[in-house]
Amino acid sequence: MSRRDRLVELRHDTSVVLPSLLLCDFGNLERELGRLQDAGVKALHLDVMDGHFVPNLTYGMPIVSACRQLTDMPLDVHLMVSDPDAYLPQFFDAGADVITVHVEACQDPRATLQTIRDLGAASGLAFNPQTPLEELAKYADLCDLVLIMSVEAGFGGQAFNPGTLDRLAQARSIVGPDVVLEVDGGINRETIASCAAAGAEWFVVGSGIFRQSDYTAAVRNLLDLARPPLTG
């Protein structure tokens, strides 16, 4: 199965909660990934920050590679870096299944998205809160995933911006039903249901999991809130 196919396989799940590893205990990474897998997590979100495109510095290929060695869960790698094209092959080789780049950081987003697909990964395009979504129509045909940021990229633990709900609905109307719509920033028990109602399918969660004592209960609760109610 190709890495792009893994994303298609995950779409059979109506909702996917992706722990953002920024807040995990990196001193016990294997234990943390085991706890997440035991909790029913289907994929992981890795935030790569370069201290240039965003005012924070996190990790790079070695952590992605370490996660790849420790789990077979799909890795959704979110590149918050300047000149992402310079690093696409390295992150693919490290084990990324999805590579998401920021439209604000790409000189030619179409070329970048095509390169990601040519490598064999699923292609993602992220939008910061102040970036007009009208740009999305130019690139939607090359997107396997669109990530709508509720907060400015760069730091975890920020509060959810309610205006994100309209942006999610707008993005869904642009890309149609066949592109994964992901949301990141302030996603927790209070915000996940409204994001799902607005069209989001993948939910990046940090403190809503890692600052809870019981990962299993936290993940199950989030999934229950994100799934549409049964009708009929």
The reported pLDDT for the residue numbered 159 is: 81
The reported pLDDT for the residue numbered 3 is: 83
Whether the CB-CB separation of 165 and 133 falls below 8 Å is answered with no
**From the CB of residue 52, how many other CB atoms can be counted at a distance below 10 Å?**
12
Which phi and psi (to 5°) does residue 207 adopt? Answer: -65, -25
The reported pLDDT for the residue numbered 231 is: 42
Q: What is the mean pLDDT of each run of 10 residues along the chain (232 residues)?
A: 77 85 95 97 95 88 97 96 96 97 96 97 96 94 97 74 96 95 95 96 95 96 83 42
Which position among 5, 25, 184, 224 bears the catalytic label?
184
The reported pLDDT for the residue numbered 155 is: 63
The reported pLDDT for the residue numbered 156 is: 59
The reported pLDDT for the residue numbered 9 is: 78
Whether the CB-CB separation of 136 and 174 falls below 8 Å is answered with yes
The reported pLDDT for the residue numbered 232 is: 42
The reported pLDDT for the residue numbered 229 is: 59
Tokens representing 10? Answer: 């995950």
Q: What are the residue ranges spanned by the domains of the chain?
A: 3-226
Q: Which CATH architecture has domain 3-226?
A: Alpha-Beta Barrel (3.20)
Whether the CB-CB separation of 81 and 53 falls below 8 Å is answered with yes
25 in catalytic set:
no
144 in catalytic set:
no
Position 5: which residue type? D
**From the CB of residue 118, how many other CB atoms can be counted at a distance below 10 Å?**
11
Does pTM surpass 0.75? Answer: yes
SS3 of residue 69 by DSSP: helix
Which position among 5, 47, 76, 224 bears the catalytic label?
47
Which phi and psi (to 5°) does residue 116 adopt? Answer: -60, -45
Position 152: which residue type? E
